Structures are given as structure tokens and as C-alpha cells.
Amino acid sequence: MSKEHVTLVVNGQTYKKDVDSRMLLSDFLRETLGLTGTHVGCEHGVCGSCTVLINGKSARTCLSFAVQCDGFEITTVEGLGTVNEMHPVQQAFWEKHGLQCGFCTPGMMIAAVDLLNENPNPDREDIVEAVSGNLCRCTGYQTIIESVERAAELMRNSERG
């Protein structure tokens, strides 16, 4: 396999690496950078567990090669916040118990961030649509929807500050 040089900004840090030209972005994040919050589920772009923000928009890492993202900015769930300083979406998922097994949670959180960046005041239908591409086998989505509603409230309140 041929190697290609890529430069990616991941969670605010610049990485310059030589990668196999066919290396998936999900593998680059997990194996090369050790960012295992990006989960790999179906590997066909259906489940949403590998969702990250690429240049500010949600995208499936199992459908992108790392070389296609050369020069791009990527935000993974690890880049949202920390235990001591959570992003409002992380805080809301914690408060509203928006997870059970946690496998879909990183992708759900990224989908929520994307939605709330575009629409700070979504209605329930907007939220359902935004997370509909992310599969969850545990929660029945009710607590996820409530978590996104709470995140929107937290984000609006922080803007008023």
C-alpha cells in the first residue's frame, strides 16, 4: 500500500503523519492517535457511532479516508470537553441519563453539537431528525432527546451569561 502525508487538526492539535492511502479516518483516529471515543460499529455509515465533526459538520469516519481529510479540522467526542469542564451536551447527557451502554453516545453527542450549532432552539421534531441517523439499541431515544433539549437550554443560558 502506498503512503501519503497528511496534516490534520484534531481537537485543536495539529498532527502530521504518513498514512496508508486507504486508511479510514476512524482507524486513523483510534489507532494512530489513540482517540477511542470514536466508536466503530457497522463500518458502512449506517449506525453513526463513528460520527465526528469535520470542518464543523458531522460526518461518518468509516466512510472517509484519512487522506481525504488532509488539512481539515476534526473534532471528536474527546475534544468537546473534560470531566472537570464538560461541554453543555456532555453535561446534559449526564444530567438526563442520555446513555445506557454508551456505545452510541459519542456519535449522538456529536450529532447534537452539530444540530445545536445550526439551530440553538430546536423543537422535538428537529432533535428527532438530527439523531435519526444514529442507532441506539438501549435507550429508546427518549432520554437522548431529553438530553439534547437540556443541552440546548444550557447553551442558550451560557450565551446570556
Would you list the domain boundaries of the chain? 3-79, 88-160
Q: Are 106 and 76 in contact (CB under 8 A)?
A: yes
pTM of the model: 0.93
Fold type of domain 3-79: Ubiquitin-like (UB roll) (3.10.20)
Superfamily of domain 88-160: [2Fe-2S]-binding domain (1.10.150.120)
Q: How far apart are CA 35 and CA 152, in angstroms?
A: 26
**Residue tagged 496534516 (cell numbers):** 7
Q: How far is CA 79 from the centre of its chain?
A: 9
Tally of CA atoms within 13 A in the half-sphere of 63 that contains its CB = 13
Give me the tens of pLDDT residue by residue for the chain, a chain 161 residues long.
689 999 999 999 999 999 999 999 999 999 999 999 999 998 898 899 999 999 999 999 999 999 999 999 999 999 999 999 999 999 999 999 998 899 999 999 999 999 999 999 999 999 999 999 999 988 889 999 999 999 999 999 987 55
